[in-house]
Amino acid sequence: MTEVLTTNLAMIYAYTAVGVGLILAAAGLGSALGWGLICSKTIEGIARQPEMRPQLMTNMFIFAGLMESFPFITLAFAMWFVFANPFAAQFLGAIG
């Protein structure tokens, strides 16, 4: 009986690790794409209207900061899943 419980708990941790990896990969990819779009559109705007450069650069840095915070928030949730795994806690509470 304990072998089955140990196996199930190990599966919960393994699936959580795979899920966390996918979450972090998606956050990194989304942030990289966002940075690319923000910078390319800013350069396009500066090429069209060079006198708007200061305003466009200010907006770019504001939106880039917002874009950069997304992976860190995702990392915080991922670490919560790794270190305080709610699925494992539910499983242990159900069998205990």
Q: Where are the domains of the chain?
A: 28-84
pLDDT of residue 2: 84
* Domain 28-84: CATH class, spelled out: mainly alpha
pLDDT of residue 39: 94
pLDDT of residue 96: 76
Phi/psi at 49 (5° precision):
-135, 90
| Cβ neighbour number for residue 94 with a 10 Å cutoff | 7
pTM: 0.77
Q: How far is CA 15 from the centre of its chain?
A: 17
pLDDT of residue 23: 94
Query: pLDDT tens, 32-82?
Result: 999 999 999 999 999 999 999 999 999 999 999 988 898 999 999 999 999
- Closest C-alpha to 54, from 64, 36, 42: 42
